[in-house]
Amino acid sequence: MEKHNKNFQEQIKPLRDEIDRIDADILSLLVRRQEQVEQVVALKKACKVQVYHPAREEDLISKLRIQAVKTGVDPDFLEDLYRVILRQSRVKQTRQMEHKAVRPGAKVLIIGGTGQMGSLFAGLFKKSRYEVRILGEPDWDHAPDLCSDIDLVLVSVPIEKTGQVIQKIAPFLPERTLMADLTSVKQEPVAQMLASHKGPVMGIHPLFGPSSGSLDKQIIVVSPGRNFEECQWLMDQLGLWGAVVVKATPEEHDEVMELVQALRHFATFCFGRFLFQKKADIQRTLEFSSPIYRLELGMVGRLFAQDPGLYSEIIFATPKRRKLLRDFIDSMEQHIDMLEKNDKDLFIDRFRKIAQWFGPFGGQAMRESTFLINKLIERF
């Protein structure tokens, strides 16, 4: 036995030594790659080009997957590896871009700049060396001075206060000032800004929470109001910070958000409340759970770990949203008869019709959810 063990050690040592050399080569190549990234960052900063280039990244991933198949490497493994490398590269680029101003010397006033989202944007503008001023509840007596020679005013207050704040600040603004808001509804705030301010107007909705450490690949919707060309510098700045800027009219934005935010959050709230009413043993269910259940329950738990006031603003924002949610409840009640009659055929019929309506997205959803499930399995 001792002889076999000695032979094993003698034979495996050169193999392990070679693996160590390969690992050192990989590290060296990553360093060389990062050096090239630094040059790309310098060029992007000079040309004021945004960090994230979706087409470039997806083209690279596609080519790597093809090469992986040809060389006998698992393409999923290679894609996972390069997604990590690319994200690390983007985050580093974004951090460096945070110090680049599209409009150097511009003065920014953030109303509600001590709140969570206001603080996030105040920090970003400060890192890019803009002059940042903050107007909170106690500061309104100083509003004329704070608005003096201001280039951008960003309203970051609760939805129900946004219209009032817009009306209150507008008389102090120079006509050239760009006025924007950060609320999750757009029609009413944009209309109020247009009515109260004669200069450039744009609605902004960050589709992420204030706890985000980076704007890397975070979606920000912008809604044109007036003099949109004079708002371009702000959109370019958001892009430099790593955000993906999506343009939509205020009407389209609110219509989409009714489904993307209000309905989704309300349905999640209903699921969580039902578990609460049933006094479900959450931890025990997780012991029996499939990865998809853990993922779904994770989204429910995530909702209830956050500020209820924020979600109440989103869900109850407009009468139209509340009507949509009533329609959702009515739709749920339409299934009661199917359950009482134990009508499996009706369920299958409805299932197939809905699946057909989802079309190709079903396959995409399978791929994306499988990726998330596999990542969850790796973690837990």
Three-state SS annotation for 192-244: HHHHHCCCCEEEEEECCCCCCCCCCCCEEEEEEEECHHHHHHHHHHHHHCCCE
Query: Does residue 344 or residue 98 have the better pLDDT?
Result: 344
Distances (CA, A) of 167 to 120, 142, 193: 24, 16, 8
Q: Give me the phi and psi of 144, to 5 degrees please.
A: -60, -40
pLDDT at residue 52 in the model: 63
For 213-231, what is the mean pLDDT? 90
pLDDT category at 1 given cuts 50, 70, 90 is low
Q: Which of 36-45, 60-69, 190-199, 351-360 has the lowest mean pLDDT?
A: 36-45
**C-alpha dihedral over 277, 260, 62, 49, to 10 degrees?**
-130
The mean pLDDT value of the chain amounts to 90
Amino acid at residue number 297: L
Query: Does residue 196 or residue 367 have the better pLDDT?
Result: 196
Name residues whose C-beta falls within 8 Å of residue 314's C-beta, 6 or more positions apart in sequence: 159, 184, 261, 262, 265
The count of other CB atoms within 10 Å of the CB of residue 234 is 23
pLDDT at residue 363 in the model: 86
Q: Report long-range pairs for 350-354 (Cβ below 8 Å, ≥24 apart).
A: none
Residue 87: strand, helix, or coil: helix
Residue 101: strand, helix, or coil: coil
pLDDT at residue 11 in the model: 86
Q: Give me the phi and psi of 186, to 5 degrees please.
A: -125, -30
pLDDT at residue 95 in the model: 65
According to the per-residue pLDDT averaged within each range, which of 27-31, 66-70, 85-89, 146-150 is highest?
146-150
Rg (CA), the chain: 26
**What's the token pair of residue 196?**
């109260």
**What's the token pair of residue 341?**
């009659």
CA dihedral sign of residues 287, 289, 292, 295: negative
Amino acid at residue number 168: K
How many CA atoms, within 13 angstroms, populate the side-chain half-sphere of residue 159?
17
For the chain, percent of residues with pLDDT exceeding 90: 61
For 263-275, what is the mean pLDDT? 96
Query: Does residue 212 or residue 323 have the better pLDDT?
Result: 323
- pLDDT per residue over 56-108, tens digit each? 777 888 888 899 899 999 988 888 888 888 878 777 766 665 567 899 999 99
Instruction: Render the burial of 13-23: b for 16+ CB within 10 Å, e for the rest.
Output: eeeeeeeeeee
For the chain, percent of residues with pLDDT exceeding 70: 94
Beta bridge partners of 223: 203
Closest CA to 219 of 254, 237, 190, 246: 246
- Model confidence at 125: pLDDT above 70: yes
pLDDT at residue 117 in the model: 92
For 220-240, what is the mean pLDDT? 95
**What's the token pair of residue 73?**
């490497």
The count of other CB atoms within 10 Å of the CB of residue 162 is 22
Instruction: Supply the DSSP symbol for 306.
Output: S
Q: Give me the phi and psi of 84, to 5 degrees please.
A: -65, -45
pTM value? Answer: 0.74
Query: Does residue 311 or residue 215 have the better pLDDT?
Result: 311
- Model confidence at 134: pLDDT above 80: yes
Q: Which of 18-32, 42-56, 93-107, 185-199 has the lowest mean pLDDT?
A: 42-56
What span, in angstroms and rounded, lies between the C-alpha atoms of 380 and 375? Answer: 9
For 26-36, what is the mean pLDDT? 88
What span, in angstroms and rounded, lies between the C-alpha atoms of 19 and 5? Answer: 21
pLDDT at residue 64 in the model: 87
**C-alpha dihedral over 296, 297, 301, 302, to 10 degrees?**
-20
CB 289 within 8 A of CB 297: yes
Q: Which of 49-58, 106-115, 175-184, 362-371 has the lowest mean pLDDT?
A: 49-58
pLDDT at residue 359 in the model: 92
pLDDT at residue 53 in the model: 66
Name residues whose C-beta falls within 8 Å of residue 174's C-beta, 6 or more positions apart in sequence: 147, 149, 150, 199
pLDDT at residue 253 in the model: 97
pLDDT at residue 50 in the model: 65
Distances (CA, A) of 351 to 103, 263, 328, 346: 53, 20, 17, 8
What span, in angstroms and rounded, lies between the C-alpha atoms of 321 and 324? Answer: 5
For 349-358, what is the mean pLDDT? 95
